[in-house]
Structure 1
Amino acid sequence: METTATPQFDPVKYKQTTHDQWQTAAEAWYRWSSTLNQWLGKATDKMLDMAGIGSGHRVLDIAAGAGEQSITTARRVGPSGYVLATDISSNILDYAKQMAQQAGLNNVKTQVMDGENLTLDDETFDAVISRVGLIYFPDQQRALKEMLRVLKPGGKVAAIVYSTPDKNKFFSVPVSIIRNRAKLPPPLPGQPGPFSLGAEGVLEQAFTHAGFSNVRTERIDSPLQLSSASECVKFEKESFGALHQMMSSLSDAEKASVWEEIEQELQKFETENGFEGPCEMVVAVGEKP
């Protein structure tokens, strides 16, 4: 009697797909920078506060994207400080470099780098930050241990992740609809994803297991405010590569139908003041002993 092998998560393939997604979505992520700032600004400020980032600090930004939070950090550390923005995607870092130039900042550098394999010396940074990046690493422990390695003793790592699906319906509703329409199985064991670190205690445990001390988290209400559900769909359609990846097996007509269904569901979050998509972020910090 034949037994069917349980499908295994393929981290190498996943990482390549993630790289390709961000190469494609780079321009859109940059174009929506002001929306990202408005949506995640409060959580970003909390992350920088919890990491104790101040004037003259050397800061590493992992999975920096188009660098909007790198710019915020660079202003905080001032001309005597330094921010290294890293990402797996070269295209998206081109926009981070452009943003730094437009802001007139000379203390931001960019480097293509895999967060699980940092090509950096030990104990060279005062702080490491990662905004909505850690959730997408196939080996989150390896990424955290690499962050720990490059930190100076007493330095801090701070990261922002989504909490649970029920608190993030602007994103979990589309994910659920796509999963249903594309007949996708549940995520495989060990598979990264938007809500992989959101449950109570999971992020704290990950930091502690990686070797950090004085670990703590804070939950930040971060509603996504846009003019309409239609604009939210446009934002997600242009910028959220993971949603396109989930729909890759569908025909163009089916994809269009899925986006229509998503928009209908998201209309529930429209008010007289526009669209307010429920979102809760968790900010974690840990210290290098």
Structure 2
Amino acid sequence: MREFENPNRWDKVAQHYEKTAHPFTARFAEAALATVSLTSHSRVLDVATGTGALAHAAARMGAQVTAVDFSAGMIARVAAAGLPNVDARVMDGQALALPDASFDAVFSIFGVIMFPDWRKGLVEMARVTRPGGYGVIATWQEQGAATFLLLGQIRRTLFPERENMTMPAGVKAMSDPEELAHELVEAGYRAPRIDRVTFDYHLDVGMLDDPEMLFGMSHDWVALSDEEKVAVIAEARRLAGDQAILPIPSTALIGVAER
């Protein structure tokens, strides 16, 4: 099992994720929310919610939100915000324990793309979307984003003979706009629209002191020797130079389609 497929691993990093990744993914969540119109009567589902970047933003807009994730640690962070219109539940996004056609809008912000059976995740999203409702998914382009993108760039610099960074199958399959549109239609949606959105991930260079926390979810970090890991961190520090924050431009595709 890869680290990102292990709920126990996500449980352990939930608080760190909320501090470092949540503010970054929240920017993409807001871009995704801008693709649909929500009201206080809207029923919204956030699949693989993480620490709730999308769920909290939708709730602040007044929507009634159900947020699900397979990690109890992540769900605990969502619930800790105490928003009365957010129902946070531990649930497998590949087999949603939710009725058919029960949501006006179903989102997954960099969640379904990580699933072992990501196509089943998309089908489940479509199943619980009401006719005339919307499904919205955010996915990275093939080289990933944030620390995954930085690690891949450094690996190609230091170890050019190695294979390119190993991304989850869902990311690889949906990293092209036409392919993402195709997969949304295959899942049961129609009339997909795909937008590219880029934001900088701001890497606190001090976090390089704990590289296992930064890179430990990536097989391409785990596969390195101790000596190679030291070289990767040295290269990251070289790239940062005198900066306390290293910006990493990261591009996502946001797909929205009607049920």
TM > 0.5: yes
> How far apart are the structure 2 equivalents of 1:249 and 1:168?
19
Aligned-partner SS, 1:54: coil
- In structure 1, what residue type is equivalent to 2:255? A
Tell me the TM-score normalized by structure 1: 0.76
**Post-superposition shift, 1:276?**
1.2
> How far apart are the structure 1 equivalents of 2:74 and 2:58?
18
**Post-superposition shift, 1:152?**
0.9
After superposition, the CA RMSD in angstroms is 3.2
1:221 alignment partner, one of 169, 182, 198:
198
Q: 1:274 to 1:28 in 2, by over 3 A?
A: closer
1:43 alignment partner, one of 28, 36, 51:
28
- In structure 1, what residue type is equivalent to 2:132? G
Identity in percent: 25
Q: 1:285 to 1:75 in 2, by over 3 A?
A: same
**Post-superposition shift, 1:175?**
3.7
2:109 alignment partner, one of 125, 131, 135:
131
Per-residue CA distance 1:183-236 (angstroms, 9 max, x = gap) = 986788x952655421342211111111211101110111112454x44x4687
**Post-superposition shift, 1:286?**
1.1
1:106 alignment partner, one of 84, 91, 94:
84
- In structure 2, what residue type is equivalent to 1:97? A
- In structure 2, what residue type is equivalent to 1:209? E
Per-residue CA distance 1:54-74 (angstroms, 9 max, x = gap) = 332111100101113211110
In the alignment, which residue of structure 2 is the partner of 1:4? none
Higher Cα radius of gyration? 1
In the alignment, which residue of structure 1 is the partner of 2:65? 83
- In structure 2, what residue type is equivalent to 1:44? A
Per-residue CA distance 1:94-139 (angstroms, 9 max, x = gap) = 111002x1xxx20111111111100001111111111111210122
- In terms of mean alpha carbon deviation, does 14-23 or 199-208 score higher? 14-23
> How far apart are the structure 1 equivalents of 2:58 and 2:51?
13
- In structure 1, what residue type is equivalent to 2:202? Q
Which structure 2 residue ranges, 5 or more long, are not aligned? none
Which structure 1 residue ranges, 5 or more long, are not aligned? 1-12
8 Å Cα contact 1:51-1:157 kept in structure 2: no
> How far apart are the structure 1 equivalents of 2:26 and 2:106?
18
Tell me the TM-score normalized by structure 2: 0.84
In the alignment, which residue of structure 1 is the partner of 2:6? 18
Alignment map for 1:141-220 (pairs within 5 Å):
141-165=119-143, 168=145, 170-175=147-152, 192=169, 194-220=171-197
Per-residue CA distance 1:12-47 (angstroms, 9 max, x = gap) = x45894323212211211233xx632x234321221
Aligned-partner SS, 2:174: coil
> How far apart are the structure 1 equivalents of 2:13 and 2:244?
29
2:16 alignment partner, one of 18, 28, 42:
28
